[in-house]
């Protein structure tokens, strides 16, 4: 690793700051920035589509763009961030760093089949896996959380790109309305469901489940493939509790999810939390939730 890192840092040190460049962790962040700035910023996405945010290693070219960015807007607690965050100041001492997870209430967890608690100590009953010291990073998958974070995104962009401040101000109400619509739709949908449990391979919907009264049951255990014994328990639980669906992200191997779907007789649905268009992604997810949790609700 030493020679590649020396190349990265020496190359980055020679690159000047670009006032129209911003770096982010994942593709959905680019959507929010594009919406606010009319796509006037070039957005360097550190985890490309189809890659795992838990294990991805950025390329030298990505680090070069990062070194030229006035602002890095991270998610926080993603695997790649945990590995590389300490090196950011070496890349660009003048770069501002804004971590979105520092501006919302986070969820902690021990493993896929244990309960977890929020930072304020109150218990919750979803079941996410642990993510780097137990913090679940999937904050962008809850409309409620993104409503909380949008003002922070706006303020940070205006402070670091003052030449776009007016555009950001003008575009903000429309984007806020989109988030409000998604939040209200999810609230109404959740209130209409009798069956509130779902299985998911990788626990990407932890914050959605918390904020809208659903129960997520994760297949992964500490980010690893489930054991045969745990897989059998999940199949039994799905049958006994009438859990109607298992979700899996598009970048994951389908085999274990297909086994659960087949043996438990439940639907298997692919979702895409890393999709660029956050609004479309949330609308599609809500459509799937309505189709599978509402239509198969337990009858009185």
- Residue 132: the pLDDT is 40
Beta bridge partner(s), residue 73: 24, 98
Q: What is the pLDDT of residues 208-228, one digit of tens each?
A: 999 999 999 999 977 788 899
Among 93, 123, 152, identify where a domain stops.
152
Residue 293, domain member (yes or no): yes
What are the φ/ψ torsions at residue 235 (nearest 5 degrees)?
Answer: -65, -45
Asked if residue 254 and residue 290 are part of one domain, the reply reads: yes
Asked if residue 115 and residue 36 are part of one domain, the reply reads: no
Asked if residue 146 and residue 16 are part of one domain, the reply reads: yes
User: Which residue segment(s) compose the domain that 88 sits in?
Assistant: 2-103+142-152
Asked if residue 260 and residue 130 are part of one domain, the reply reads: yes
Interstrand relation of 21-24 and 42-45 (parallel, antiparallel or unpaired): parallel
Asked if residue 215 and residue 87 are part of one domain, the reply reads: no
CATH number for the domain harbouring residue 293: 3.40.50.1980
242: region left, alpha or beta (phi > 0 left; psi from -120 to 50 alpha):
left
- Residue 218: the pLDDT is 95
Q: What is the pLDDT of residues 43-91, one digit of tens each?
A: 999 998 877 777 788 889 999 999 999 999 999 999 888 888 777 767 7
Of the pLDDT bands very low, low, confident and very high (cuts 50, 70, 90), residue 133 is very low
What pTM was computed for the model? 0.86
Asked if residue 291 and residue 198 are part of one domain, the reply reads: yes
Asked if residue 226 and residue 97 are part of one domain, the reply reads: no
Residue 279, domain member (yes or no): yes
If one counts the domains in the chain, the total is 2
Asked if residue 126 and residue 83 are part of one domain, the reply reads: no
Beta bridge partner(s), residue 246: 199, 268
């Amino acid at each position: 690793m030493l020679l590649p890192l020396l190349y990265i840092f020496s190359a980055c040190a020679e690159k000047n700051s670009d006032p129209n460049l911003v770096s982010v962790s994942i593709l959905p962040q680019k959507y929010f920035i594009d919406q606010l700035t009319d796509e006037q910023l070039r957005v360097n996405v550190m985890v490309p589509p189809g890659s795992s945010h838990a294990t991805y290693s950025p390329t030298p070219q990505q680090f070069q763009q990062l070194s030229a960015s006035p602002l890095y807007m991270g998610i926080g607690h993603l695997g790649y961030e945990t590995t590389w965050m300490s090196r950011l100041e070496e890349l660009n001492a003048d770069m501002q760093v804004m971590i979105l997870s520092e501006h919302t209430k986070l969820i902690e967890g021990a493993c896929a089949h244990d309960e977890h608690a929020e930072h304020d100590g109150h218990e919750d009953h979803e079941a996410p896996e642990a993510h780097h010291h137990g913090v679940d990073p999937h904050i962008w998958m809850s409309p409620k959380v993104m409503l909380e974070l949008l003002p922070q995104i706006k303020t940070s962009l205006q402070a670091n790109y003052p030449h776009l401040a007016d555009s950001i101000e003008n575009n903000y109400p429309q984007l806020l309305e989109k988030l409000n619509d998604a939040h209200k739709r999810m609230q109404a949908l959740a209130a209409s469901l009798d069956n509130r449990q779902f299985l998911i391979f990788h626990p990407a919907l932890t914050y959605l489940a918390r904020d809208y009264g659903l129960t997520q049951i994760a297949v992964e255990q500490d980010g690893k493939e489930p054991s045969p014994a745990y897989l059998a328990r999940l199949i039994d639980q799905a049958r006994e509790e009438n859990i109607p669906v298992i979700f899996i992200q598009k970048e994951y191997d389908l085999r274990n999810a297909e086994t659960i779907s087949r043996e438990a007789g439940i639907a298997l649905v692919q979702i895409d939390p890393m999709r660029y268009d956050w609004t479309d992604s949330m609308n599609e997810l809500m459509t799937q939730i309505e189709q599978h949790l509402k239509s198969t609700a337990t009858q009185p």
